[in-house]
Chain A
Amino acid sequence: MMKKLSRIPLAALIACVTPLSNIAQAGMSNTATTFGILPSDIASAQSLSLFNNQVSATYYNPAYLARDTRGELTGGLFHAEPSLEVESHGGVNAPTRSGDVLDDTPSQQVLIGMKKDLSFLTKYDHPIMFGFMAGVEKFGKEMMAFQSSTANEGQFFNYGRQPLFLNLGVGTNVWRGIDVGASLRITLHADATMTTQSDLAGNTERENIEVAAEPVMVPIIAINMNAGETLCSRSPCWMDKLDTAIVYKSYAKGETNVAANAVIPGTIPDPGLDLIISTISGFTPEIITAGAQYQFGKFRIGATAELQQWSRLEDQLQKDTIKDQSNLRFKDIVIPRIGVQYQLNEALALTSGIAFEESPLENSNSDEVNYLDNDKYILGLGGSLLLKNPPVLAWPVQLDFGYQYHYLKDRDFSLTGTTPDNQPYQEDVTAGGDVHVFSGSFTVKF
């Protein structure tokens, strides 16, 4: 009986974590903004991320690194399981859809992060916290996960495989209760060039391939303030428990350019046939986040408002050779987040948060590309267990678990383009679905 029971979830897990589709979808998202980096971020739906002194602060609020001068080494796993559904209402040459889930491509990342006070490198005794955070897709097996394509059947603007997440930064206290921080988010611009001589069967000669991945660093700057330290002339002060922060993240994009040239003797002479593809493989909008938290006893309550400026993507996609025809339009959005953490005891804390994320995609039709995106409600839950005297290790260990649920509000779209048989088609659909995110981490504090 026990064996039977144990097999069911194993099979279910295998079924869930194994992509059912050969279509490796990847949207305009990244782990940090779509879900959260560490379990604590996921659990609070990023509402408390501005005030999270774990290493993920390198991204969310590098200034907050300065709030805890202990070193940390964090490792974790992340699994996002979308169930993105499309319901067809028919149309001209509309496809037959059987089943509900168009896309269930998971994002599975291995996370690693570290922060350390670098003041020992200086002649001063002023803490300077350095943080480093990375996430690698497919549990570390896929450094560059992206797909950019047109999609007859529709494709979700978000979710799917995520590109390499790499972020490093510093934070330090500059004045009473005021910390500043800056970090760099590193994205990759990939350039590939190929020249070859080919026949019409594709047999190549004189091949030359060059691939280069160029890191592009995008700045994040942050400042936070403990109102009590800064504003109160004496302590204790009621504002001691009030933290505020504001963070600016520049926009980031992953770009891939492929330039191929083929000379086909007898058909196309030198200078040959150029195949140029330039596409945006991932995009994070310019983000300004402002938030505050207040400590009520064992409760820590935080709220943030996040302005995401997606409108810039319109211009970027005009240069995208895959999606330039769709005349995609985006709007800037503000995402409200609110969360709470309850310190059950010294070892255990529970966290929850909610957010509402409006879809930045204005089009209900994007020819050939057929992007789908929804307004969504985000609910996070999680817990943190601090083991001050763990076995074996000499330093305290923190175990975190986070779960997040995305509910995609139904939205109607009109899909258009040409079928694989090159017939024009139009289909009315309703897109919806949900996403489950699981994350766990292991942190050593030293």
Chain B
Amino acid sequence: MNNKIMKAQLAWLLAASLSLISCGGDKQTVVFPNRGGDVFYTYPDADQRGVSTRAPIVVRLSDPVADPLQLDDSMIRLMQGATPIPIDISVAPGSDDRSIVLRPIDPLATGATYTVELLNLTSTNGQITLPDGGFSFTTSLAAKGPRAQQVSGDQFSVTRMFPDDAELPILDFTSLRFQFSQPIYIASVRYGDTVMLKDGEDQLVPAVVLAKGHYLTIDPVEDLQPGSSYTLTLSEQLTSLYGASLELPFSGSSTFSFSPLASGPTEVMALQAPASGLPSQLTGQPVNLVPVIATLLGEETQSQQQGDVFAELAFVPNYPVATPLRIARGSMLTGDELVVRIGGQIPAGFNSGDVVVQFISDATGYLLPNPYSTSPRAPRQIRVFMDVAITTGNAVANSSFNQDVLHLELVGQAIVEDGVLVSDALTVVESDVLGLETAFGVLSFRMEAYADQLAAPQPAEDMDAPFVQSWMPDQLASSHRPGEPVVINFNEAVDPVSLTNRITISQDGIPVVPDLIRQDGVSVIITLPLNYGSDYDISLLDGITDLNGNSLPQQTLSFSMPFYAANQPASPVALQAYPGFPCVTVARDLANNNAGRCNGGQTTDDRLPLALMPADRSIQVSFSQVMDPTSIVAGSTFLVEEVDAAETSIAAVDGRLEVREREIVFTPDQPWSDGSLYRYTLRSNGNPASSTCNPAAAICSATGLPLKTRVLSTSLANTPALNGGGQDLEIFFRGVPASSSVLTKLSNLPTADVNSNSRRDPGEENAVDDPEYLKNSARITVTDVGGQVAEANIGCPIGDSCPEDSYIYATGTLGAEVVGFLDAGEAAAVARSPLPPEVASNGGILVYLHPTALLTSNFLAYARTTLEPLTTADPTDSGELIMRLRYQCDARTGAAAPSPAESAPIRRCDPGESGFGEGWIVEGVDGPRFLATLNGYIDGPRLNAVARVLGAPITLAHNQRSYGFTTDVRGDVEFIDDGRMSIALATETPIVVLVNLSAAGVLNADVELTLPMGEVILNVLSGSVKR
């Protein structure tokens, strides 16, 4: 038994030994090193071009930042060359501490290259590094302003083609996009001529062509034939806004040949852009919320977008690396209405209605490998270029805000989460507000694919016909002037191809060819030379459709230009000159920022503060007449120079001069230099008594009259002729840094004095027969007489009643600069004049008023003397009245305070003070209201009072030179359907003018004229939102 046990034990021992031998060593575990932290996404993308100067910089990591509360510029920073850029650094809320957001304190420079450097950035999974230590991007060029900010080179060249047909292939459904080094001269974009896409049989391919700013899109109406050859031509006749011809864009050729690849079979992925209110994992801002940040709108205006997006994917197995996609033309996103508040605080009186973002061309995009990380966790990159039209439901808002935004470049990440493709992308939407300023908003765009694509919504079918929502001039033809375009605003974007040859125009029944018809957003802008007194019919022919093919009913829009009495032609005057005051000045002291006083005025007149010109603004001069464009030539009749304090020219300033019918705009090539002195000169004929005008040497009106540069005089004899010229108009200014305030031009329209000759002419309208002309009128009453005046009457002999002749009518243009909303405390701190009670209580939007001169028509005054019949008074023609708005301060230095005879002196200017008048927009009962106090001079240079003593005429001297007045004005701020802003200011207090007439100390006549409260109405109207 023991033996058996022993044998058994031996057997087990043997087996165990063998087993242990065979087991060998320990089982190996293999652990690969962690790849550490990675960058998964950046905005802008590395080497991205055309980035908004307002863009935030987002760096999203693979893992949370190690210590999110300790982030600073020792870890990550933004550099321009070797210069660090001040930024706010934060971690986006809701990003799991993975997204770092850098927000530059100030807007970035245009066309500049910046580098984001990762210095010592650590995630919970290790150090974050990038090749070369960071990534770079280049900002976009400016859409406005000095040439240097709008161009990236002296040559007009293609800087980018998307797709490039190399890394990103061109497919049959691809739209072609081009970006240029200079803004395109839109009129030079003629499809079939300067821009062509032809097939292999040399036939032009029908295409939607969109051009705006630096961007051009060519979107074939039908998909191209895959594998066929096509030739794209961008000819040298394509020019820039600065007149440069296009450099051969395609390797020394104007043509580019390609064969599109097949996209099919394609599949449409339905995605939704949710209005979830959840923070974007990239920025922390609510997804799909479009803020619209602008001075005019404040920082609180925003629209929550939502809707379905249908992305058509090329056959993915054929494009595994760069997967092309398209979002079809006509797709749209809808958004909540914008609550429109001026300056973000004052209700504008209307809301936007639903905001609709509609794709006006096929958006082209690609799903690409992650550019930074090969980690299996890294999302793919999505890049989409889109052209959209932004429209709103409300007519006023639509006219004000609708526009095309081209080449909106979305850069995002896309990954499948929980079985659903989700994409988060960023872009910056820069949009025009009222055509006055560029708003911006960072869009954190999130799209989520429907999990069940078979049950996903189908694209909504648009069966609604488009209609004309508003147009200009429509009911405001009386305020329309040559040079203003005709603008038709549809309720939705119309197909540009369908517009071709379907808008006809007739003038007095005779067809005319417009200079240009272009489209922007839902607007069609027609530029044509308009003639006073003509009737125009704009016919929208059958066949105009929206983007989905719904037809616009055929219709005709008609209007009549106001009557222009030509019997007493007047020379043009500068109604507004920005910067500066529109008069020839004397007694200047530029070293001390004293621009002098208007020539022809009193020596005691205020000294005008030297104008301060923000770096990026344009010189603008508005004229009272239609001008001869050939007479306004930069470097000849219009000069801009840098000068020294002694007014010696240092250098001519190059720039781009735009000459329009009644205004000129000069934009310098380089921004105005901070602190430098400049002068711009408008040449005239040198003689205020001569109507001769040589357009080669002086600025002339279309009727051949010279620019009148002086309207004041110290004596009747020295008064410039109605059709006279004058010495060159020189205006000085000093460059200062760019400003965030918004400059707008407000014209006194309508006015009965259509021909701006300051005369009541036969055939001209009057305020009694047509109350429309109460606007920009003032009724004059005689409220007292004295001296040898026994009785006086306005307009007609004493005893007669002629209310229609007791009005004067204003001609003028006012510059206004919207600064933004100030609360009561801020307003009190900023204001230099007493605050209106509403502002003192609740704050308001500060609007600086640029002093200028208004001209009024004349009136006749009849008087009966106390000395009759020995002495009688002839009817007195007031001549034109010049109402100069005064600055808030006097720029003179050193000299003693003046003692003007007929006005009160004003305080001296503080250093750097602009002296602008102050107006305020406040919230009224029925909408926004404008409040201001006007302080001005009245001049009647042509006032000619004649008394007859025993029949002998004796000219009386008068005191209507620099006659001071002050009045409070208030009025509603209204927005017209065509998007323009109108403010009807009425005086809150009567203006009393005591006219003193005298001769040789013997004759003395006093007439108290009163412009009753509320009967001086200055109705100002902003210009067309679009040109």
Contact = CB atoms under 8 A, between A and B. Distances in A.
A9 B9 CA distance: 11
A85 B29 contact: no
Shortest beta-carbon contacts, A-B, top 3: A201-B419, A83-B24, A266-B453
Given A99-B25, A434-B24, A94 B33 contact: yes
Interface string A190-204: 000000000111110
A87 to B, nearest CB: 10
Contact of A421 (B20, B21, B32): B32
A16 B419 contact: no
B453 A199 contact: yes
Interface string A256-268: 0000000011111
B19 interface: yes
B23 A419 contact: no
A149 to B, nearest CB: 14
Interface stretch (A170-178, A270-278, A304-312, A339-347): A270-278
Nearest to B26: A99
A16 B23 contact: yes
A12 interface: yes
Contacts of B187: none
Nearest to A19: B27
B421 interface: yes
Interface string B291-318: 0000000000000000000000101110
A93 interface: yes
Contacts of B418: 201
Interface string A99-111: 1111010000000
A101 B25 contact: yes
B267 A16 contact: no
A353 B25 CA distance: 26
B31 A95 contact: yes
A99 B23 CA distance: 13
A271 B586 CA distance: 84
Nearest to B33: A93
Nearest to A83: B24
Interface string A118-161: 00000000000000000000000000000000001100000000
Interface string A411-446: 000000011111101000000011010100000000
A101 B449 contact: no
A104 to B, nearest CB: 6
B267 A153 contact: no
A14 to B, nearest CB: 9
Contact of A104 (B20, B24, B452): B24
Contacts of A102: 28, 30
Interface string B1-43: 0000100010011011011111111111111111100000000
Interface in B252-267: 265-267
A419 to B, nearest CB: 4
B75 to A, nearest CB: 23
B901 interface: no
A101 B316 contact: no
B418 to A, nearest CB: 7
A81 B23 CA distance: 7
A436 B23 CA distance: 9
B449 A266 contact: yes
24 contacts: A5-B13, A9-B19, A12-B19, A83-B24, A98-B29, A100-B25, A100-B26, A102-B30, A199-B419, A200-B451, A201-B451, A266-B268, A266-B456, A267-B313, A267-B453, A268-B267, A268-B313, A418-B374, A419-B33, A419-B35, A420-B32, A422-B374, A423-B33, A423-B374
Residue among B24, B266, B454 having the largest count of chain A Cβ atoms under 10 Å? B24
Contacts of A8: 12, 16
A271 B375 CA distance: 30
B436 interface: no
A265 B12 contact: no
Given A12-B19, A99-B28, A421-B376, A199 B451 contact: yes
B416 interface: yes
Contact of A271 (B26, B265, B450): B265
Interface of B is mostly: mixed
Contacts of B32: 93, 95-96, 152, 419-421, 423, 425
Interface residues of B, number: 49
B316 A97 contact: no
A97 B24 contact: no
Nearest to A13: B19
Contacts of A96: 30-33
A266 B267 contact: yes
B315 to A, nearest CB: 7
A421 B31 CA distance: 11
A235 interface: no
A83 B23 contact: yes
B458 to A, nearest CB: 12
B129 to A, nearest CB: 13
B20 A83 contact: no
Contacts of B449: 200, 266
A380 to B, nearest CB: 15
A100 B24 contact: yes
B26 A422 contact: no
Interface string B259-288: 000000111111000000000000000000
Contact of A99 (B15, B21, B27, B419): B27
B420 interface: yes
Nearest to A20: B27
Among the interface residues B21, B23, B451, B452, which one has the most CB atoms of the partner chain A within 10 A?
Answer: B23
A273 B316 CA distance: 8
Interface in A64-112: 81, 83, 85-86, 93-102, 104
Contacts of B419: 199-203
A271 B421 CA distance: 21
A418 B33 CA distance: 11
A379 to B, nearest CB: 13
Contact of A436 (B21, B317, B420, B452): B21
B24 A9 contact: no
A203 B287 CA distance: 28
A94 B30 CA distance: 10
A2 B33 contact: no
B315 A85 contact: no
A277 B971 CA distance: 79
Contacts of A20: 27
A201 B313 CA distance: 18
Given A13-B15, A96-B31, A200-B449, A267 B25 contact: no
A353 B781 CA distance: 137
Contacts of B452: 199
Given A95-B32, A201-B420, A266-B456, 7 more contacts: A9-B19, A98-B28, A98-B29, A264-B267, A268-B315, A438-B18, A438-B22
Nearest to A6: B12
Contacts of B270: 266
A5 B12 contact: yes
B28 A101 contact: yes
Contacts of B317: 268, 272-274
A21 interface: yes
A269 interface: yes
Contacts of B268: 266
Contacts of B20: 12
A393 interface: no
A9 B265 contact: no
B1005 to A, nearest CB: 90
Given A267-B269, A421-B32, A16 B19 contact: yes
Contacts of B416: 200-201
A392 interface: no
Interface string B450-467: 111110100000000000
B16 A12 contact: yes
Contacts of A209: none
A2 B33 CA distance: 48
Interface string A207-232: 00000000000000000000000000
Contact of A5 (B9, B18, B34): B9
B998 to A, nearest CB: 92
